[in-house]
Amino acid sequence: MREFFFEKFTGKLFFFVSLGVVGYFCLLFLNFYFIKANFILIGVFQELMTFPLLFLYQPMLLVLSILHCIKDKFRIKTYSFWSFLILLISNAYFLGSFIVVTVADNWNDIYE
């Protein structure tokens, strides 16, 4: 069962799914800072997709891409290595931004 599940997801599929996830967060960033579209449907879509993508799918895809990289022996020319690298940078950036915001808020509370 595990081997069937593992072989069904190829490195190329992981690469394009990871690009889709990172692309979603880039569009979310652009909408928040530059575009500022206030349509109801866009807001509902953002609220429904952000937390599952950030806390469920990104870490799950990162673990599965690590398994594929181990299978491919971390060769740089494979799709699984680049999906691993994309997801690692994306996880570090977005989860790290929560830590920075939390520390900055606490810092302001302490020294005000």
83 within some domain: yes
Note the pLDDT of residue 52.
Answer: 83
- On the 0-12 / 13-18 / 19+ scale of CB atoms within 10 A, 80 is buried
Which of 10-14, 16-20, 58-62, 74-78 shows the lowest mean pLDDT across its residues? Answer: 10-14
Instruction: Examine residue 65 and state whether it is found in any structural domain, yes or no.
Output: yes
Domain count of the fold of the chain: 1
Position 111 in a domain = no
79 is in which domain, residue-wise? 2-104
Helix (H) or strand (E) holding 72: none
- Return the minimum-mean-pLDDT range out of 24-28, 41-45, 74-78, 105-109: 105-109
* pLDDT in the model for residue 111: 58
Q: Is residue 99 assigned to a domain?
A: yes
Measured CA to CA, the distance from residue 37 to residue 47 in angstroms comes to 14
The answer to whether position 56 is within a domain reads yes
- Tokens for 60, please give them: 């799950």
Residue 110 inside a domain? The answer is: no
For the segment 73-101, what is each residue's pLDDT rounded down to a tens digit?
888 888 888 888 998 998 888 878 777 66
* pLDDT higher than 80, residue 15: yes
Residue 97 lies in a domain: yes
pTM over 0.75: no
Instruction: Quote the strand ranges of the chain, DSSP E.
Output: none
Classify residue 112: in a domain, yes or no: no
CA distances, 100 to each of 97, 103, 104 (Å): 5, 5, 6
Q: How confident is the model at residue 103 (pLDDT cuts 50, 70, 90)?
A: low
